[in-house]
Amino acid sequence: MVAEHGEADAYEKLVLDRVKKRRDGIPAFDLILLGMGDDGHTASLFPGTRALEERTRLVVMNEVPQKQTTRMTFTYPLINAADRVWALIAGKDKREKVTECSAARARGEHPYPILGVEPTEGDLCWWLDEAAQPQSPKN
């Protein structure tokens, strides 16, 4: 585990060294491309994990008990500093979660990690294929 944390530190340093554009002192990528899991996770930010609360570090190792693994991930501060964040979501198996996310966002709630993606000055776009589109209510 110590070696893994060292890798996250090294990757964070690489980001700090190579991404010159800054937003409030945080490197600002031109584009960050994300997906969404069936549980609403994104970028290895899983429900109930510590990385969701990280506000200082840009890259961390995130213990993910539900997957019995540890994953390296960008944190919200780095993701939300980007100029553009795109979430590509495809498949009918994602439709229900997309619908839940849309309703939660309308209520100002953030029950799923994907909803913590809120660029501070950049643009957020969810790209959904037809199968992932929420169904319209029947009249």
Query: What element of type H or E holds 10?
Result: helix 2-18
**pLDDT for res 3:** 53
Q: Who contacts 86 (Cβ-Cβ below 8 Å, separation ≥6)?
A: 31, 32, 33, 34, 124, 125, 126, 127
Residue 1: pLDDT over 80: no
Q: Who contacts 48 (Cβ-Cβ below 8 Å, separation ≥6)?
A: 66
CATH architecture of 2-132: 3-Layer(aba) Sandwich (3.40)
> Which of 90-93's residues contact partners 24+ apart within 8 Å by CB, and which partners?
90/128, 90/129, 90/131, 90/132, 91/129, 91/131, 91/132, 92/131, 92/132, 93/38
> pLDDT of 15-69, one tens digit each?
999 999 999 999 999 999 999 999 999 999 999 999 999 999 999 999 999 999 9
**Domain residues of the chain, as ranges?**
2-132
